[in-house]
């Protein structure tokens, strides 16, 4: 029944003022919105003298509800891979093979209309006959009648031509209801005969109030607006309203976290102030409903502005970057990053840094150190992260030592070598024989070979730090 009803609204469009054109301003929420559903087929609809069929290609004088067509009547019909409704998976449309004689597609009574209110009726239609298969062109007429049968208005689509590829076309009618009329009968009539041609698909039938343009603003801005989470804030809702209403009235509405639109208590002027809940981080949407003052209490009489969104600034996120390895007193850049709104930076401790208040400072450390990055945004929200710098010491290689057991200079102490755990250390005699080797240098060489003292004299060393730096080599002299 609902489908017929909507189509008949098309006829309704003619009460006092009727124009075959689209609304140039803002719409209201649909009073009628026929999409024929999605998922499971809705089956037959009421208020039509056409026969319902489950066949995917209806014969003359019948219709079906389908979500696609394929090769009907020897491939003379277009293949429609989907309906017109945007975003509805497996959405349906009405597919009609018109009767041999002109007749009614729909007839429905619409009630609770608002007197003196402008509406737009629109529907999408496609001629399913291919341009290579000439035939009768669909021609629809919409009638609006009073409940007593008087014709209030009518509109004809004219002949809807074939096309090389299927083309959905919107047919719209703008009209204003006369004073004293709140119920009408809508009819959609097929005025072209059936037979070869006069085949069409119909979808997205809507009937909704139409009025002036409304451009909503938050704190004077037409753009989306952001506030700080956790901080109570008053914002001003306002709008630019175009001409068209004599004595407009207003209701601001909100939609919190997609929970649905509700009226904002007390926000019934074009400019209204509201307090943002500081404990919520859910995005909030606002819109302005407007109508002539005598119609504002009826939702079907209102027009609705575009939606403007109030969001919360994302809390800052600090990333101090990957840990670093550097050589003692060699500068290394910290590669940090941060996200958020109007950020400031602070590194601690500030030791060895060229500037602790920039995102990527340079450190020249002489020892291992851990830095903490603190990021603060314009809302005073803080995020921290840490980075560790491993400092490889400069090595100092002595060229002699005296392993005589007197407790003074008894070991070959290579300063800094213990910070290179992957270093390979080799000691050779003059014949090239290895007399000492180690991985890392946690235990310095004591001048012995297999725990036995060796002759005093000159020996040769090789130190590979295994970090891509140069190979150290030279001589060391064993003294008494």
pLDDT of 17 > 80? The answer is no
Backbone φ and ψ of 52, nearest 5°: -85, 140
Backbone φ and ψ of 88, nearest 5°: -100, 110
Where helices occur in 303-440 by DSSP H, the ranges are none
pLDDT of 343 > 60? The answer is yes
**DSSP state, residue 36:** -
Is residue 238 within 8 Å of 270, Cβ to Cβ?
Answer: yes
The model's pLDDT over 193-243, given as tens digits with 9 standing for 90+, comes to 767 888 999 998 888 899 999 999 988 888 777 888 777 788 899 999 999
The Cβ of residue 411 has, within 10 Å, a number of other Cβ atoms equal to 14
Across 22-46, average pLDDT: 83
The predicted pLDDT at position 21 comes to 63
Share of the chain above pLDDT 90, in %: 53
Is residue 121 within 8 Å of 9, Cβ to Cβ?
Answer: yes
pLDDT of 5 > 70? The answer is no
Cα–Cα distance measured from residue 337 to residue 335, given in angstroms and rounded to the nearest whole number:
7
The predicted pLDDT at position 278 comes to 59
The predicted pLDDT at position 398 comes to 96
Across 410-415, average pLDDT: 95
The predicted pLDDT at position 434 comes to 96
Cα–Cα distance measured from residue 461 to residue 135, given in angstroms and rounded to the nearest whole number:
100
**Which of 152-156, 282-286, 338-342, 396-400 is predicted most confidently?**
396-400
Is residue 54 within 8 Å of 81, Cβ to Cβ?
Answer: no
The predicted pLDDT at position 122 comes to 85
The Cβ of residue 427 has, within 10 Å, a number of other Cβ atoms equal to 21
The predicted pLDDT at position 194 comes to 67
Task: Decide: helix, strand or coil at residue 255.
Answer: strand
Backbone φ and ψ of 430, nearest 5°: -65, -15
The Cβ of residue 207 has, within 10 Å, a number of other Cβ atoms equal to 28
pLDDT of 307 > 50? The answer is yes
Q: Comparing 265 with 314, which gets the higher pLDDT?
A: 265
Lowest mean pLDDT among 8-22, 121-135, 214-228, 376-390: 8-22
Q: Comparing 34 with 444, which gets the higher pLDDT?
A: 444
The predicted pLDDT at position 277 comes to 72
Task: Classify residue 379 as left (phi > 0), alpha (psi -120 to 50) or beta.
Answer: alpha
Share of the chain above pLDDT 70, in %: 94
Across 243-253, average pLDDT: 94
pLDDT of 13 > 50? The answer is no
Domains of the chain from N-terminus onward: 2-209 (2.60.120.200), 214-312 (2.60.40.10), 317-392 (2.60.40.10), 400-478 (2.60.40)
Q: Comparing 395 with 108, which gets the higher pLDDT?
A: 395
**DSSP state, residue 415:** B
pLDDT of 144 > 80? The answer is no
In which band, very low, low, confident or very high, does the pLDDT at 119 lie, cut at 50, 70 and 90?
Answer: confident
Question: Is the torsion defined by CA of 310, 316, 317, 321 positive or negative?
Answer: positive
* 125 bridge partner residues: 169, 202
Q: Is the peptide bond before 349 cis (omega within 30 degrees of 0)?
A: yes
């Amino acid at each position: 029944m609902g489908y017929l009803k909507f189509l008949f609204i098309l006829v309704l469009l003619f009460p006092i003022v009727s124009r075959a054109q689209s609304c140039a301003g803002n719409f209201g929420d649909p009073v009628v919105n026929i999409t024929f559903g999605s998922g499971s087929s809705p089956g037959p609809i009421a208020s039509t003298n056409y026969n319902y069929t489950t066949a995917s290609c209806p014969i003359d004088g019948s219709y079906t509800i389908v979500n696609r067509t394929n090769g009907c009547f020897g491939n003379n019909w277009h293949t429609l891979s989907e309906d017109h409704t945007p975003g509805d998976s497996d959405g349906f449309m009405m597919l009609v093979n018109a009767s041999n004689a002109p007749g009614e597609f729909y007839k429905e009574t619409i009630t609770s209309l608002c007197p003196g209110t402008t509406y737009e009726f629109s529907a999408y239609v496609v001629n399913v006959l291919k341009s290579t298969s000439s035939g009768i062109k669909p021609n629809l007429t919409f009638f609006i009648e009073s409940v007593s049968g008087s014709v209030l208005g009518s509109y004809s689509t004219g002949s809807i031509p074939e096309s090389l590829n299927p083309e959905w076309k919107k047919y719209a009618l703008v009209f204003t209801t006369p004073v004293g009329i709140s119920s009408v009968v809508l009819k959609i009539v097929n005025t072209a005969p059936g037979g070869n041609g006069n085949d069409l698909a119909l979808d997205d039938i809507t009937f909704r109030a139409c009025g002036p343009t409304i451009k909503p603003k938050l704190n004077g801005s037409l753009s989306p607006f952001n506030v700080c989470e956790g901080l109570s804030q008053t914002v001003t809702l306002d709008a630019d309203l175009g001409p068209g209403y004599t004595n407009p009235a207003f209701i601001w509405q909100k939609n919190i976290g997609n929970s649905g639109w509700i009226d904002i208590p007390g926000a019934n002027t074009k400019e209204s102030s509201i307090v943002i809940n500081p404990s919520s981080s859910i995005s909030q949407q606002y819109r302005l409903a407007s109508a002539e003052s005598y119609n504002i209490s009826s939702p079907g009489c209102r027009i609705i502005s575009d939606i403007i969104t109030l969001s919360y600034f994302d809390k800052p996120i600090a990333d101090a970057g990957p840990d670093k390895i550097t050589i003692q007193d060699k500068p290394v850049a910290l590669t940090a990053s941060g996200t958020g709104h109007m950020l400031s930076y602070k590194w601690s401790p500030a030791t060895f840094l060229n500037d602790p208040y920039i995102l990527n400072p340079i450190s020249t450390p002489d020892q291992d150190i851990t830095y903490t990055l603190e990021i603060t945004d314009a809302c005073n929200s803080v995020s921290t992260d840490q980075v560790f710098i491993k400092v490889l010491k400069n090595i100092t290689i002595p060229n002699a030592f005296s392993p005589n057991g007197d407790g003074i200079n008894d070991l070959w102490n290579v300063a800094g070598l213990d910070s290179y755990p992957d270093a390979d250390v080799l000691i050779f005699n003059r014949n090239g024989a290895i007399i000492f080797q180690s991985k890392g240098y946690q235990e310095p060489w004591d001048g012995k070979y297999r725990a036995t003292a060796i002759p005093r004299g000159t020996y040769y060393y090789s130190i590979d730090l295994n970090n891509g730096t140069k190979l150290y080599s030279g001589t060391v002299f064993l003294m008494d």
